[in-house]
Amino acid sequence: MGKLLFFAAAVFFLWKMFQGDANKRKQETKIERETLIAKGEMVKDPVCGSFVSLEDSVRARDGEKILHFCSYECRDKYLKQVEAANNPKG
């Protein structure tokens, strides 16, 4: 009986430790991401609003601006919107 209780306590302790570790890691990932955004190494996709790293982004030029998208799908969507705005009559 005492052994079982000890085992249960050990499992509980390990579980707690794992939970704390996971939370910490999540926070670190968040901080890391915010740092990358601040440094300009992560950019916001103007279509879906998700952040992508500069290296992995899909690029498109809009006049003087270089835009970054998470996928070709988002880029195409954006380009279609720009096209529609430039040619209102279609």
One of 42, 43, 60, 74 touching Zn ion (CB under 5 A) = 74
Binding region for Zn ion (CB under 5 A) out of 2-10, 28-36, 37-45, 54-62: 37-45
| Cα 53 from Cα 71, distance rounded (Å) | 12
| Cα 77 from Cα 17, distance rounded (Å) | 45
**Among the listed residues 48, 81, 36, 46, the one whose alpha carbon sits nearest the alpha carbon of residue 66:** 46
78 belongs to the binding site for Zn ion (CB under 5 A): no
- What is the closest distance, in whole angstroms, from the C-beta atom of residue 52 to Zn ion in the complex? 7
Cβ-contact 62, 53 below 8 angstroms: no
One of 36, 37, 48, 82 touching Zn ion (CB under 5 A) = 48
Nearer to Zn ion, 13 or 72 (CB): 72
